[in-house]
Amino acid sequence: MNFQLSDEHQMIRKMVRDFAEKEVAPTAAIRDEEERFDRRLFDLMGELGLTGIPWEEQYGGIDSDYLSYCIAVEELSRVCASTGVTLSAHVSLASWPIYKFGTEEQKERFLRPLAEGTKLGAYGLTESGSGSDAAAMKTTAVRQGEHYLLSGNKIFITNAGDAEIYVVFAVTNPELKHKGITAFILEKGMEGFSFGKKEKKLGIRSSPTLEIIFDQVKVPVENRLGEEGEGFKIAMMTLDGGRNGISAQAVGIAQGALDHALAYAKERKQFGKPIAQQQGLQFMLADMATKVEAARLLTYQAAWLEGEGLPYGKASAMSKLFAGDIAMEVTTDAVQIFGGYGYTREYPVERFMRDAKITQIYEGTNEIQRLVISKYLLT
C-alpha cells in the first residue's frame, strides 16, 4: 500500500492549482454575486485537458485516471465550488455514460467534443415529482419508426442552457417500472427541446441550474444510449462515479475554508495575541484538518477502486456522505473563526459555507447515501 501521490498526480494538482488561483479565484466572488456562468473558464479547462482527464487519447482525452480527475475537481472547488461542479457534471455525469455505454460512433460524435472541451455536457434525471425516487420519472419516449418522441421535463439540471450535449432518461415502457426506462443523448437546438426556469440558489451560484423541457422532441434511434430498458441501470451506475466527483468537490470546499481560517487565525489579534494562540481555536483547527484529511482519503480510495476496475459503489456513497457532512461542518467552523467578518461578503468563507450545503443534497441526498450503503451492508 502506498499513500504517496504519483508524479503524474502531483503534476496535475500543481497545474490545476495554478490555473484555479490565477484564472478562477479572482472572479469567484463576483460570479457568485452576479449568478454568472463564465464559459471562458470552461474553454480554458478544455485547453488544459481537464475536460477529458480519464479518457484515452483516441476519444480526445489525456489518458490519465479517476484520481487525477478527483484532484482536479478538488483543486477547482478549493477556490470556486461552482467551477468544480461544472467539471464534475461534465465528466462524471455526461461523458462517463457515453464512454461506458456508447457505441464507437456515439463516442466519436459526442464523447470526443466533450473530452476536448469544445462542447459542454449535462445530465437530466430529476423531475419535479421524482428526486430521491428516481425511478418514478414521468418523461416519456415513444418509438415511431427510426426515432423516439420525447415529452416531459427535468428540473435542477446542472450546466443546462449552456451545455450542448445532454444525457437524459425517459420511460419507454411504463408497465415495466424501472426496467422500462431508457437513456438518450440529446443536443441543444433539437426541435422541441427548450429551457425553462433558471434557479436562484443559496450556493454554487455561478453554476447554472435550469429546467429542461421536451415537447415532442424527435430523437433519432442512433441517439439512444444502451438498449431500451437499460436506462435506470445506466443512471445508477453513472451516479456511482458522479458521487465521488461531489466528494472531491466537498473536500476542495472544506480545504479552501480551512486554508482561509488558518491564515486569518494567524493574523487576527485579540487579547494582545493572534487568535491562533488560543487553545480553543487550535483544537477547532485540528479537528477541521483531521476531517478534511479523512474525507480526502475516502475520496481518493473510491477513485482508486474505480481506476483498478474494482467495485466502488459503496466506497463512493461513503465518501460523498462523509465529505458532504464534513464540508458543512468545516465551513461553518471557518465562519465561526472569522467571527462577524466571516458572516459578511467581504471574506470568502460565507460563500464556502453556502456552497458546501449542496454537497449534502445533490447526486443523492446524504440520506439516500445511507440507504445505498446499508443495502451493501445487508445484502
- Report, in Å, the least distance between residue 114 CB and ligand CAA: 15
89 vs 321 by CB, closer to ligand CAA? 89
- Report, in Å, the least distance between residue 71 CB and ligand CAA: 19
- Report, in Å, the least distance between residue 178 CB and ligand CAA: 5
15 vs 236 by CB, closer to ligand CAA? 236
Active site residue 363: yes
- Report, in Å, the least distance between residue 301 CB and ligand CAA: 18
Residue 202 is a binding residue for ligand CAA (CB under 6 A) = no
∠ CA 103-130-249, rounded to 5°: 70
84 vs 113 by CB, closer to ligand CAA? 84
| CA dist., res. 30 & res. 28, Å (int) | 6
> Residue 262: what residue type?
L
Those residues with Cβ within 8 angstroms of residue 125's Cβ, 6 or more apart along the chain or in another chain? 134, 137, 154, 168, 169, 235
C-alpha cell at 222: 442512433
Q: How many residues bind ligand CAA (CB under 6 A)?
A: 26
Contact call for residues 303 and 244 (beta carbons, < 8 A): yes
Residue 312 is a binding residue for ligand CAA (CB under 6 A) = no
| CA dist., res. 216 & res. 212, Å (int) | 13
- The 146-185 site mask, x for binding ligand CAA (CB under 6 A), equals ----------x-x-------------------x-------
Contact segment (CB under 6 A) with ligand CAA among 29-37, 47-55, 119-127, 138-146 equals 119-127
Q: Can you tell me whether residue 334 is helix, strand or coil?
A: helix
Q: Can you tell me whether residue 78 is helix, strand or coil?
A: coil
What CA–CA distances, in Å, run from 302 to 62, 295, 306? Answer: 21, 11, 6
* Closest C-alpha among 370, 327, 367, 373 to residue 351: 327
- The 26-65 site mask, x for binding ligand CAA (CB under 6 A), equals ----------------------------------------
| CA dist., res. 113 & res. 60, Å (int) | 7
Residue 372 is a binding residue for ligand CAA (CB under 6 A) = yes
Q: Which of 135, 190, 262, 289 binds ligand CAA (CB under 6 A)?
A: 135
180 vs 342 by CB, closer to ligand CAA? 180
∠ CA 25-95-155, rounded to 5°: 75
Those residues with Cβ within 8 angstroms of residue 149's Cβ, 6 or more apart along the chain or in another chain? 141, 142, 216, 217, 218, 219
Residue 125 is a binding residue for ligand CAA (CB under 6 A) = yes
Within its chain, how far is the Cα of 186 from the centroid? 20
Contact call for residues 182 and 230 (beta carbons, < 8 A): yes
Residue 371 is a binding residue for ligand CAA (CB under 6 A) = yes
> Residue 258: what residue type?
L
| CA dist., res. 111 & res. 117, Å (int) | 10
β-pairing, 193-198 with 209-220?
A: antiparallel
- Report, in Å, the least distance between residue 126 CB and ligand CAA: 5
Residue 368 is a binding residue for ligand CAA (CB under 6 A) = yes
- Report, in Å, the least distance between residue 155 CB and ligand CAA: 10
Q: Which of 240, 306, 333, 350 binds ligand CAA (CB under 6 A)?
A: 240
Contact segment (CB under 6 A) with ligand CAA among 2-10, 75-83, 123-131, 292-300 equals 123-131
330 vs 368 by CB, closer to ligand CAA? 368
C-alpha cell at 338: 472569522
Question: What residues act catalytically?
Answer: 363
- Residues of this chain that interact with ligand CAA (CB under 6 A) are 85, 89, 93, 123, 125-126, 132-135, 156, 158, 178, 232-233, 236-237, 239-240, 313, 362-364, 368, 371-372
